[in-house]
Amino acid sequence: MKVNYEAISDEIDDIILDGRSVCVVDDDELFRKHLAISLGQTNLRITEAFDSASLIAVLEKEMPDCILLDYKLDLENGFRMHEQLQQRFTNLAPVIMMSADESQRTAIKAFRLGLQDFLPKRNLHLDQVTYAIRRSIARHEMVIAHRHEIDMLRKKSMFDDLTGLYRREELDNKLATIKTAADLKNIPFAIIAIHMTEHEQIVTQLGPTCSDEVLRVFANRLRQTIRQEDFCGRWDEDTFYYIVSRNQSVSYLKERTQRFESDLSFTHFHKSAKLQITSRLAYAVYPQHGGTLEEISSYLTSEIEQQKIHAGESKPEDWKVLPQPGIDTLTGEERRRAPRKRVFKSAVISMEEWSSRISCTVRNISDTGARLRMEGPVPLPRYFLLQISDTGPFRKVRKCWHVDNEVGVEFCDPDS
C-alpha cells in the first residue's frame, strides 16, 4: 500500500504546533540557540543537542515530534548519524536535514536516505522551518497510519503468509464453529496434528531463511492432500492441524496419518546440505479425547512429545553435506588459499558511498573473502563496500562470481 503524498497538503493545515516537541541538533551554539529561541516563540517545546551522544540522550528520554539535524557536526556526518538513529530507534521521529551546503547533490542524497526534508541554512526564515516541520510531521503521521492499517489487515487475513494455510486465529474460529455444530447435532470430529520434526534444528543450524524455505515446501505438500470437506491450518511455528469433519473411524484416521507421513517425508537440498525432512503425527477425536478444544490440543501435544521421547529427533550431523568448490572430494582437504568458516551474520552492501544499500547475510567467510546471500537477484558492480554486522567497518571487496542471489567476494587491499 503506497502513501498518497499528494493528499498530505490537505493534512498540513490540520497539524497544530502548539505543544509539539522539536529537537535542534547543531554544533554551532549561536545558530542552535537562535533557532531554538525562535521556534520556542511558536509554542513549540524545544530540546537541544550538539552531537550524536547528546542527541541519543535526548531521544532515550523522550522522542520528539520532529528532529532538525545539521549536515556536519564537527567530525560527524549527519547522513551517517541518521542511519545509526534509524537502526537504534524503531519509532524515530521525522528528521529534517539542515545544511550550509546548498548543492542539489546533497539535497537529493538526503531524500534518497529517507530524510523528510532539506533546508539550506543560509537566509533561513522561521516560516520556512515551521512549514517544513508541519509538513514532515504530517507525512510521518500518514505513514504511521498506513502501517497501522496494513497491520490491521494482516491480522484480519485468513491465511498465513508463509504457508498459505489458515492462520491460527482463523483456525480457532473454525474449530469453535465446528465444535458448536458437533455439540448441537452430536456429531464428532477429528483433528490430526502434523509436526515438522526438523524445524527447530534447521533454524538453529541453518538459520530462519532456510527454515522458512523448508516449511513452505512442507506446507505445499500438505496443502495438496486436503480434501474438499476438510480444512487445515498452522497451529504454531512447526505444527499444523488437519480437521476431519467426516469419517472419524480409527481405521480411516490411521490410514490418513500414514498417508501424511509418507507425503511429508522428503529430501530437500539447501545449498550444501541434504536435508531429510520427516513428520510426527497424532490424532484425537472430539469428544472422546477431550471435552474442550484446550483438552484436545493438550492431548495432541502430549502424543507428539511422547513420540519425540521414544524416537528422538534427527541430528544435524546426520544431514549429508554435498561437495563444495575448493574441497578435495577424495581427501576432504581444503584447497583454498585460506580456510573457510561457516557463519550466519547480517551484512550490508554499499554502492556509490551511502546512496545505495542492500541487506544480505554472510554464509561463509575466510581471511581472503566471503560468500554472501541476498534476498533476491540484484545486479552488483565489480567492486563495492561490505559491512559485516552493524559495528563492523566498511571494507572494499571484489566480486569473483555471482549466481542468482548468491555472490562470492574477495577482500581488497585497503590501499587499492
- Residue by residue, pLDDT tens for the chain (416 residues) are 444 444 445 566 677 888 899 999 999 999 999 999 999 998 999 999 999 999 999 999 999 999 999 998 888 888 889 989 988 998 899 999 998 887 788 888 888 888 888 898 888 899 999 999 999 998 888 888 888 887 776 666 788 888 989 988 889 999 999 999 999 988 899 999 999 998 888 887 777 888 889 999 999 999 998 988 899 999 998 999 999 988 788 999 999 999 999 999 999 987 767 889 999 999 999 999 998 999 999 999 999 999 888 775 444 444 444 444 444 433 334 444 556 777 788 888 887 545 567 888 998 888 888 999 888 777 788 888 999 887 788 889 998 888 777 888 999 887 66
Residue 165 near residue 240, CB atoms below 8 Å: yes
Here the cell at position 61 is: 528520554
Query: What's the rounded Cα separation, in Å, for the pair 113 and 96?
Result: 11
Here the cell at position 192 is: 490430526
The pLDDT of residue 300: 95
Structural domains of the chain ordered from first start: 5-154 (3.40.50.2300), 168-321 (3.30.70.270), 341-411 (2.40.10.220)
Residue 132 corresponds to which amino acid? Answer: A
Residue 373 near residue 330, CB atoms below 8 Å: no
The pLDDT of residue 315: 43
The pLDDT of residue 58: 94
194 Cβ contact partners less than 8 Å away, ≥ 6 residues apart: 222, 239, 240, 241, 242, 260, 264, 279, 280, 281
Query: What's the rounded Cα separation, in Å, for the pair 97 and 26?
Result: 11
The pLDDT of residue 123: 84
**Three-point CA angle 159, 171, 189, nearest 5°:** 135
Full-model pTM: 0.45
Cell numbers 522458512 correspond to what residue? 212
Radius of gyration of the chain (CA): 29
Q: What is the DSSP string of 106-173?
A: HHHHHHHTT-SEEEESTT--HHHHHHHHHHHHHHHHHHHHHHHHHHHHHHH-SB-TTTSSBPHHHHHH
Here the cell at position 123 is: 537566509
- The four Cα atoms 11, 12, 14, 19 give a dihedral, to 10 degrees, of 140
Question: What DSSP designation does 316 have?
Answer: G
The pLDDT of residue 25: 94
The pLDDT of residue 280: 94
The pLDDT of residue 263: 94
The pLDDT of residue 229: 86
Query: What's the rounded Cα separation, in Å, for the pair 179 and 156?
Result: 22
The pLDDT of residue 352: 59
